[in-house]
Structure 1
Amino acid sequence: MEQVFSHFKQLAFEQSYPAIQERRRVLKQLKKMLLKHEQSIIEAIDKDFSYREPFETQIAEIFPSIKAIQHAYNNITSWIQPEKRKVSIWFKPASASVMFQPLGVVGIIVPWNYPLYLAIGPIVAAIAAGNRVMVKMSEFTPSFSQLFAELCDKYIAKGWISVVNGDAEVAANFAALPFDHILFTGSTDIGKKVMAAASKNLTPVTLELGGKSPTIIDEGYPLEKAVEKLLFGKLLNSGQTCLAPDYLFVHQSHQEEFVNTCKSVANRLYPDWKRSNYTAMINNKQWERHQALLDDAKEKGADFVPLFCNSETTGRKQPPHIVLGATDDMLIMQQEIFGPSLPVFFFDSFDEIIKSIKQRPRPLALYLLSNDKNHFHRLMTETHSGGVTVNDTILHVSQENLPFGGIGPSGMGHYHGVEGFKTFSHAKSIFKQSRFASSKLIYPPYGKLSKLLYRLMRGR
């Protein structure tokens, strides 16, 4: 790993500004790799999860990965152009611009829940910016991680992407390398360790973490439509999504029909959940962690409503539950759930929601299902979250023209699209003096003309 890093540093030293054609060639090969091996990717991820619904891999991993590659391929020519900036009247006719220069060698640490998309997304941004990339894959997806390493080695020209596999010790050593930038996606606790390791090298970091993302179903919004959108976001990948709705506010006017609507919609969306259509928990550790949250809540008085008609567990498939009566002393309201359980609170006043969200750590996402413009305005101006989807869930992550990232405990920094390009670039300020410069008027020795000019520059 250290040898690869040294080799990449040398390549970045020798070729500090790779041509657009080279960057686009790598992007083109990445796309070709995914299209040619779609089925192999689906099968490897399925094996790691024990069951991953194939269409979820296609729509949540392969499709957005290809879309991200194509977006960068189409736009890199405009992104790479220096941005012209205005010059103060006192320094005209000089010119100013910002040039985007590759950082050098970028490290990317990939989680297990979306191992393809959360590798490709940052890789695309880093390559578009002209960097060499080292990628540490998750040890919890061994089949896919090995396949991804083999495919990159086969399809990508040497010296651009190196895939590293190994356990937590390898990951710690990886984070300790003096990269020019590290992007980590994962839990807040591990993110703190990555940031601590990076700080020893003064390596800047982008942290894509998680947190407890709130969802609101407002009074007047059609309930069945709201529940469909809610359960799509919540049960995708069996809730193992950093953007999944984590807890829900429902207007009390919907209280009587809400649970029955959830049951009806859940069984319609997942009619054969035991055999297909519904993804399993990634491993026994995650299954047991999620079960511990449920056991703790039950011991402390919460009520559980199973959503599937047949709610007996099958292997690592965890059927979804609505959790009623959750309180802040329960682990399920203290930790990111990362599974198919959803605490639900019934509200009367929108002020209650604002207060509750503001009292909690700032989340990665917020979802509002509402036609009330005043409620939308209040949430946007009075609360903080990494991103927002209105009248749906999780879909803001799929917009390449929107920056993606968290705030506070849910992360720092952004990527996707041009923001990703800029994250992995150094914005170099360039001031170019004109041959007719007037700056010599402020050179010493300082006489009456200099002092007059200062008074004009200073103004009143």
Structure 2
Amino acid sequence: MSLVYNTSESIEDYVTCLRGTFVTGKSRDAYARKFFLERLYALVKDNEEKFYVALAKDLNKSRADALASEISPVLEECVYFLKHYDSLTKDKKVKARMTVNRTDTAFVRREALGVVLIISTWNFPLQLSLVPLAGALAAGNCVVLKLSEISVHTSALITDLLPKYIDSSMYRVVNGGVEETQHLLRQRFDHIFYTGNSVVAKSVMTAAAQHLTPVTLELGGKSPAIVTDDSNMQIVANRIAYGKFFNAGQTCIAVDYVFVPKSRIDEFTKAILKTLQNWYGSNPQKSKDYGRIVSQKHFDRLMSLINHRQSGDIIAGGQSDREDRYIAPTIITNVNFHDVKLMGEEIFGPILPIITYNEIEEPMGLIAKHEPGLALYLFSKKKSVINQVLAFTKSGGVTINDTLLHQAEHGLPFGGVGSSGMGGYHGEKSIQIFSHERAVLAKKQRMEWLVQARYPPSSPTKLALLRAVLLTDPVRFTYIVFKRPIKWAAFIIILLGILLKRSLN
């Protein structure tokens, strides 16, 4: 299956047409939004088998992996938006803080941004295309969806199916490589949502800056795991292996490297070797549950890390087959944290470096030397250790005593910090990023005498009135006097007490 790349003219025409649709208000209609979410759900559900086939061709994903990481997240997100649509999109009342606004109405209205651009990526080509698409449509936007040119089969299937389920006046699909993406970025959008690497992200931000377009960047980085000495090593080995070798390590939140106490390194390595044997057998290349590297270009990069590393001993894996895009699950021990090859950049493949330590402060200090990753994993039973690591490290998200699952829990916002990205999404957070939160204050046409002090010409009387209006709020006043806020009732009681005492004197 091949992709037909878009022309420059078609890209420009797409953006113009979608902007015209948005102006009509069609995308913002509540009934339409719910209908499109229902149709997106049906697209995935009706064609589940076709997606299994496409994902297997692109990445050799097993049915279980595809169901857990591709099919289910899209269906779950559509159901969430449909179930909670009214509460997610209704106006949110705000309690006014200024005395002069206490009798008026203040609220925040979530409004669609307009035409948004979603640039997807290849490692989870269904989830990372349709989950943000669901959020953008639920928020009332029109969408240009740029699919990955690397995961060809899945992108071609999405391109073919979308027009059969959703009105094409609401979205457009763009296929292409670097040239087409660059031309796409020259167009004006109201928001850009990009998933990928930090190098391309800089180009996205540069292009967005030309139109002052806000961006959401979902990137990656080196996501560490820390194992403490009170851990059950077999359980930890299972969960770290899952977090590293799921999708052959081609996951933005994959365990990039792991710290293990020196006193328990032998136990950990025996446990993880046992895990790999149980899961994939003596020849993982023949396992139906083990994935493939997406392209020979990425294969060559990963083999360079293995063959030109500056430290470490391979205790498992290392075997490869370029034609099959296969690299065995590879475990490397005795790794030097300053190894430029293994530790210099995100691995994004089935290679797990192991670094030993003596005290918990050691891995925390070393992690701080890297830019914060998209995830951090900590295995510990001690609350004090958990709090210590959380307090002195940075990452986009954290899973404690497991891996990957904070991203799968769509009740939590997912996103990076620093070089691992900016902004987050999933669930209500997706509605927020694809909406403008418009502040509205509805005043009444009365009590003009109370605010006339703001009008010129100024005078001592008006200044006194203005001071009374702005600076005698009871909460603010009592906080200054009594060092803590006191509610209206308490304030009145105190004031009456003061007046009574004065009258008695």
User: Which interval holds the TM-score relative to the shorter structure?
Assistant: over 0.9
Q: Distance in 2 between matches of 1:238 and 1:431?
A: 53
Residues 17 and 101 in structure 1, CA contact (< 8 A), matched pair in contact too: no
One-letter amino acid matched to 1:278 = Y
Task: Write out per-residue CA displacement over residues 3-57 of structure 1, whole angstroms, 9 at most, x where no aligned residue.
Answer: 01100001111217622211010010011110111111111121223x2222211
Higher alpha-carbon deviation: 327-336 or 442-451: 442-451
Describe the SS at the equivalent of 1:281. Answer: coil
Counterpart residue number, 1:316? 325
Report whether the alignment pairs 1:342 with 2:361.
Answer: no
Counterpart residue number, 2:392? 382
Report whether the alignment pairs 1:400 with 2:410.
Answer: yes
Among 419, 423, 426, which residue is 1:413 paired with?
Answer: 423
Report whether the alignment pairs 1:118 with 2:132.
Answer: no
Residues 257 and 353 in structure 2, CA contact (< 8 A), matched pair in contact too: yes
One-letter amino acid matched to 1:179 = F
Counterpart residue number, 2:471? 458
Residues 27 and 142 in structure 2, CA contact (< 8 A), matched pair in contact too: no
The structure whose Rg is larger is 2
Residues 144 and 172 in structure 2, CA contact (< 8 A), matched pair in contact too: yes
Describe the SS at the equivalent of 1:371. Answer: coil
Deviation of 1:440 (Å): 2.4
Report whether the alignment pairs 1:273 with 2:313.
Answer: no
Deviation of 1:269 (Å): 1.8
Higher alpha-carbon deviation: 186-195 or 249-258: 249-258
Q: Distance in 2 between matches of 1:183 and 1:150?
A: 22
Matches within 5 A, 1:11-410: 11-15=21-25, 18-49=28-59, 51-91=60-100, 92-271=102-281, 273-275=284-286, 276-297=288-309, 300-306=310-316, 311=319, 313=321, 315-327=324-336, 328-410=338-420
Residues 320 and 326 in structure 2, CA contact (< 8 A), matched pair in contact too: no
Deviation of 1:161 (Å): 2.1
Q: Distance in 1 between matches of 2:219 and 2:403?
A: 18
Task: Write out per-residue CA displacement over residues 31-84 of structure 1, whole angstroms, 9 at most, x where no aligned residue.
Answer: 1110111111111121223x2222211111001111111111111111111111
Deviation of 1:405 (Å): 0.5
Counterpart residue number, 2:454? 442
Q: Distance in 2 between matches of 1:355 and 1:301?
A: 20
Q: Distance in 1 between matches of 2:257 and 2:404?
A: 14
Higher alpha-carbon deviation: 409-418 or 438-447: 438-447
Q: Distance in 1 between matches of 2:145 and 2:201?
A: 16
Task: Write out per-residue CA displacement over residues 335-389 of structure 1, whole angstroms, 9 at most, x where no aligned residue.
Answer: 1000011111111111112111112101100011111111111122211110111
Residues 278 and 317 in structure 1, CA contact (< 8 A), matched pair in contact too: no
One-letter amino acid matched to 2:328 = P
One-letter amino acid matched to 1:440 = Q
TM-score, normalization: structure 1? 0.95
Describe the SS at the equivalent of 2:424. Answer: coil
Q: Distance in 2 between matches of 1:434 and 1:373?
A: 53
Describe the SS at the equivalent of 1:436. Answer: coil
Describe the SS at the equivalent of 2:180. Answer: helix
Residues 141 and 434 in structure 2, CA contact (< 8 A), matched pair in contact too: yes
TM-score, normalization: structure 2? 0.87
Deviation of 1:177 (Å): 1.5
Deviation of 1:312 (Å): 5.6
Return 5+ residue gaps in structure 1 as ranges: none
Structure 1 residue ranges, 4+ long, deviating more than 4 angstroms after superposition: 311-314
Q: Distance in 2 between matches of 1:6 and 1:407?
A: 33
What value does the CA root-mean-square deviation take over the aligned residues? 1.6
Return 5+ residue gaps in structure 2 as ranges: 1-10, 473-479, 481-505
